[in-house]
Amino acid sequence: MTEQRSTEHIPPAGAAAGSAPGKRRRIVQVTPNYPPLLGGVERVVQILATRLAARNDVSVVTTDNKADGAPRRAVEAGGVKVRRHRSLTVAHTSLAPGMFGSLLRIRRGTVIHLHCATAVVPEQVWVSARLRGLRYLLHFHMEVDASGPLGRLLPFYKTHLFGRVVRGAAGVIVLTESQRGFLAERYGVDPAKVHVVPNGVAEEYFLPPRVPSEESATGLAAPIGPTGAGPDPLRLLFVGRLDVQKNVARLLDAIARVTEPVRLRLVGDGDLAADLKAQAARLGLDDRVEFVGRKHGEDLVKEYADAELFVLPSDREGMALVVLEAMAAGVPVLATAVPGNIETVEGAGRLAEPTPHALAAAIDDLARDRSALAALAASGAARVADSRWDRVVSAIEDVYEQVGF
């Protein structure tokens, strides 16, 4: 049985049990990718680095993958020192040999906070730590998945390489209780050294509760548009990278099957943007689907505020920030029933099997009976009510203390 997401492991803001008041640490966040590359893991690392820098000395060691010309060395928001190493991408994996040199130069007594979502970088940390007798903390965001022709090597990699990296960590941070159990079963990790710290939500995404329309409040079907010609289209929203993992192609296939009036806004960019636009054109969706590119800050908040249903068609997730943000903004969530989404959405949104047919059926159901949207929105808002980032950062610092950094 799948565990539901819980925030019981997060202490109250500013009250991380066991943490040493005023203790200032040197922290190196090691991550394969970092903004301006668009992605949930990258945003999590940036948020943690920036907020931890308020009372610690924080650096980031990463690659220049899709850095859009960002400098190789920079001091960024909050005083975070970022070192981007030249890289190339193979099978969606960033390879940066120069990163190993930076890892070997990390000063003793530093918290090495490794973020895991792809291969190679974790192994560099593991080897460098063993060579120098250092300890590291591993932050498990999601399981590495097969990608490209080299995907057939994945079972060997997980058994003989990544398993050693996870077991060799001084402590492991996971997003859900289900991930704790998964690491114990798949990689033999001692559950006692695994700490559950869910992702958080920035304050700007917590919007006032929405006032349902008269039609929705009375349980009627979709409200009639101003021309009286038919119901207003249900406003759907997707936010995220346009890449293989998010499987927006599945969502476009679903929209082509939807019989109720809907309109989908796709916020984001990625390697598959051109292919997805071509697919939408082939399916005749030009009047139902709009690609609007990347959105940040107030512009992204406005996208959530204007949406009536958030849809995530992923193949897998860790704990998607965009789902948490949608819930905080009062947008009901429909997501595929895959690892990560199940733990985050179950009991607080709607899940559908990861097929175009199932997604289309769920969208049609909600478009026909919009009274159900308010209940889903309320459940989602309740799920994330205590998920502010200040609480998460306090929990992370508490883990540092427990692990002995």
User: Helix, strand, coil % (nearest 5) of the chain?
Assistant: 40, 20, 40
Domains of the chain: residue spans and CATH: 26-200+388-403 (3.40.50.2000), 203-383 (3.40.50.2000)
Considering the chain, what is the average pLDDT of its residues? 88
User: Residues 36-88: pLDDT tens digits?
Assistant: 987 889 999 999 999 999 999 999 999 999 888 899 999 999 999 999 999 88
- Six token digits for residue 19: 């943490």
Other CB atoms within 10 Å distance of the CB of residue 202: 16
pLDDT at 147: 55
User: Residues 349-362: pLDDT tens digits?
Assistant: 999 999 999 999 99
- Give phi and psi for 174, each to the nearest 5: -125, 170
pTM for the full model? 0.86
Band (pLDDT 50/70/90 cuts) for residue 260 is very high
Question: Which of 385, 317, 345 is closest to 3 using CA atoms?
Answer: 345
Q: How far apart are CA 116 and CA 141, in angstroms?
A: 6
pLDDT at 205: 97
User: Residues 177-207: pLDDT tens digits?
Assistant: 999 999 999 999 999 999 999 999 999 999 9
User: Residues 17-32: pLDDT tens digits?
Assistant: 444 456 899 999 999 9
Would you say 109 and 87 are in contact if contact means Cβ atoms under 8 Å apart? no
